[in-house]
Amino acid sequence: MSIQAALVALALAAPQESGTDSADVWSQAELERVTEEIRLDLEELRGDTFRRPVTVRVTDGAGFLEHAKERVEAFTTEEQWAADGLEAKLLGLIPADMDLLATTYELLESQVGGFYDPGADTFYLMESYTGGLARVILSHELVHALDDQLFDLDAGMRGRVNSADALFAYQALCEGSAQLVSTRWVLRNAGTLSPADLEKASLGTEQLAGAPAYLWKPLLGAYLAGNDFLDKGYRIRRRELRKEASQGRTIAEAFENPPRSSEQILHPEKYWSKDARDEPQRVTHGVAPEGWTERGRTTLGELTLAILVDDAAALAGPDLTNPRSLLSLRYTNAAAEGWGGDEVVLLTKDDAKVLQLSTVWDTEADAQEFHDALAFAELRIRAVVDALGDPAGTNLRLDLPARRVTFTSFAGINAEDAAAMLAQLDVTVELPTPAESEQPEPAGAK
């Protein structure tokens, strides 16, 4: 998953409404008036001011798809999406017949209520939204606009497109910031919002519930785990700085030195606590052997590795009929905790497809636990891999002294030839540099 996060970032999910009467659609003047009211509120809540005006427009489903395709072309290519899809299939994360790009488009079109385009400094509201629900969406997206003016969000995402894990962490920071500040705006304006408005603003649709966990968990996790990451950071900074701490300063600190892994998002103390800060180790595969083509490589991180070994209950879609159920979702598990670093590489040669996932863990016990969980999940993964070519297979190895677990899957090639090729693929592990491991000075500290 190297680019999905960049595509869905800066959009607010909400159930699509159909059949909206044209008389209910806001005029441009009304949209601009409401936007200005919310902008002033957000500046007070956040403690920062907008550097320039934000253009606001109403759009429809076709307009959203056009925007989404433009962002795909700006960040990646269809060939890279095809490689991402093949990688996910060789890990058993999506069905063998799924078109990842088309499914992502369908999922987003079914649930996006509004989106902010950093490149155009423009917010787009889906035409079917008016009233209180539209105001909630505006409050969320305008936070993205403010963050973009302060921190250049697209630059942040472009610098992380080669690591799915780092890209998710940055997306979670973006969405967490918008969730945290927008929630404060909702509380301040609760008297002007109906219960129906707030219920409709909850994340999710039937399409989301029916999607593979590989798609819905990172999407929901960016909003909910991202919010929790910043909220806990604020509480930690409040204890350290007392009256000098604020949510705005906490958000600024995170953007100035963004979290580098889903591990830091899911375990906020591994980012915010000086004593417990945990930076990822670099796992690197060598160049592709002669005759083979490297289709892609990325870091999956704790979030995706947790999905890889999750049980059926955790992989099932969330109960979106009950918004409170979203609060009980977990984005990791015992087997994925203790992650130290990883890299997955995808190689092809004619019809042969070979994937290798190399992971390193904090302790031998962590490595053993992930190995055992992956061994249990291997049968489910193999069912997908077998549909990708004949012969096909998987292999799982544990190097306990080195705290490494390696998983390979292959299709269109026999096990002996796949192993001979992979034997030429050197893997190195590097510890974080001291500079990466240092906790930055808290924003606002003297």
Alpha-carbon dihedral 239, 244, 248, 249, rounded to 10 degrees: -80
Note the pLDDT of residue 287.
96
Separation between Cα atoms, residue 353 and residue 292, nearest integer Å:
10
Averaged pLDDT, 197-216: 72
**Among the listed ranges 64-68, 273-277, 382-386, 439-443, which one has the minimum average pLDDT value?**
439-443
Separation between Cα atoms, residue 84 and residue 180, nearest integer Å:
31
The proportion of the chain whose per-residue pLDDT surpasses 70, expressed as a percent, equals 87
Note the pLDDT of residue 177.
97
The pTM for the full model equals 0.92
Check if the beta carbon of residue 222 is closer than 8 Å to that of residue 425. no
Averaged pLDDT, 19-34: 74
Check if the beta carbon of residue 146 is closer than 8 Å to that of residue 45. no
Higher-pLDDT residue of 69 and 381 is: 381
- DSSP 3-state percent helix, strand, coil across the chain (nearest 5): 55, 15, 30
Averaged pLDDT, 421-438: 82
Does pLDDT of 200 surpass 70?
no
Q: What is the DSSP letter of 16?
A: P
66 to 17, 105, 289, 409: CA distances (angstroms): 20, 10, 39, 36
Check if the beta carbon of residue 58 is closer than 8 Å to that of residue 31. yes
Q: How far apart are the first and last CA of the chain?
A: 40
Does pLDDT of 23 surpass 60?
no
Check if the beta carbon of residue 161 is closer than 8 Å to that of residue 3. yes
Check if the beta carbon of residue 126 is closer than 8 Å to that of residue 190. no
Separation between Cα atoms, residue 283 and residue 223, nearest integer Å:
28
Separation between Cα atoms, residue 35 and residue 55, nearest integer Å:
10
Give me the half-sphere count of Cα atoms (radius 13 Å) on the Cβ side of residue 27: 3
Note the pLDDT of residue 434.
62
Q: Which residue has the tokens 């889906």?
A: 126
Alpha-carbon dihedral 348, 88, 304, 344, rounded to 10 degrees: 0
Averaged pLDDT, 363-387: 98
Q: In Å, how far from its chain's centre is CA 297?
A: 17
* DSSP conformation letters of 199-239: HHTSS--HHHHHS-HHHHHHHHHHHHHHHHHHHHHHHHHHH
Averaged pLDDT, 27-37: 92
